[in-house]
Structure 1
Amino acid sequence: MRTTNRLRLGLLAGILLLASTTPASACPNCSRALADQQRGRAGDVASGFSRSILLMIAVPFTLFGIGTFAVVRAARRGGIPQL
């Protein structure tokens, strides 16, 4: 009974979260912002774009590494049963 209640609550929370989202626009505005910058400041905006791209690439690898570390650590401590 508890598992079905948790599943229902999770499903309801997911539906409410998806129903409350709005579309976001980014890329067309970014290129216009770069074109509108003064000559000396355009490098700062380009540097910001580069850093944000590196961050977006690094986050999935970091999360995968943390998950792998947690599983290996649990296996070494005997927390995961042998198959």
Structure 2
Amino acid sequence: MTLNKRLLVCAAIAGPIYIIVGLAQILTREGFDMTRHPLSLMSTGDLGWIQITKFILTGFLVVIGAIGLRRTVKGDKR
């Protein structure tokens, strides 16, 4: 697999990671109602580090994917 494809895969997996971790938190956090509370509210409390880590990780993956997209559009074949 080329470097560009690996970088693009990073962007492709960012969304599913965001959704899966968010759903896991919704299902396990007592008192959280997804119809009334924003998902970012999960960054508070004892387990808030999970949500913050998810934000950082998925943001990093999207940036890496954007680099791959730019390289692909420019024609870099590495």
Give the TM interval when normalised to the shorter protein: 0.3 to 0.5
* More contact order relative to length (CA 8 Å, sep ≥ 6): 2
Larger Rg: 1
Q: What TM-score comes out, normalization by structure 1 length?
A: 0.35
Q: What TM-score comes out, normalization by structure 2 length?
A: 0.37
